[in-house]
Amino acid sequence: MGELTGWRLWSDVTNESNDLVERAALVVIACRRRLISALIVVTVAALSLTGCFPQRPVPTVADLAGRWVDSSGDGVLRLNQDGTFTAVDIPAGIFDMYPGYMGGPIPGPRVDASGTWQIGVSTPEMEVDEPLVWLNVDLGEVSATSLPLQVPTTGPPRLEGFLGDPDLHLFYTLTPTSHEGEDRQP
């Protein structure tokens, strides 16, 4: 019986060592998975920081000069090379960015406006990383204001004016229909 007891002890030791080897293998597999996940995250972050995703350069006056139309097809913004602009049938509320706007059709009357424009950057409180087109508008008796239109550097070319809370990502969007020199008036 002494030998049998010793044999059982030896088999218990063997089983325990097999269990330890299996646990160690599972730990190694889990570590590899975490390492691979971390490498994927680091790679994606590095690619986004180095600009490997499609992105347009910051636009120039020549890039932006031309005719831009809103989604209704009625509102037209003409940016001229000389730094002036004219707007026809643009929602009046775009000039105050409709602070209470929560989506849907843009309320209020549509107006004509004119003034000057320039390419600029965001103010710290706006928290916008995209270049901006600043429209300096003289609305006559109403007021004078500066309207920022975001120029996204990814996706299709467009100008976007914030509507309501910028965190809601609601925009008045204008898309190009021609560049200055190839004017196609309606």
Of residues 58 and 17, more confidently modeled? 58
Residue 8, both tokens: 């059982």
Q: What are phi and psi of 164, to 5 degrees?
A: 70, -150
Residue 146's pLDDT band, with cuts at 50, 70 and 90, is confident
Does residue 148 surpass a pLDDT of 60? yes
Does the reported pTM lie above 0.85? no
- Coil vs helix vs strand at 182: coil
Residue 4, both tokens: 């049998």
pLDDT at position 2 is 47
Residue 106: alpha-carbon gap to chain centroid? 22
Residue (of 72, 97, 77, 95) closest to 87 by Cα position? 77
Q: E strand or H helix at 55, and its extent?
A: none
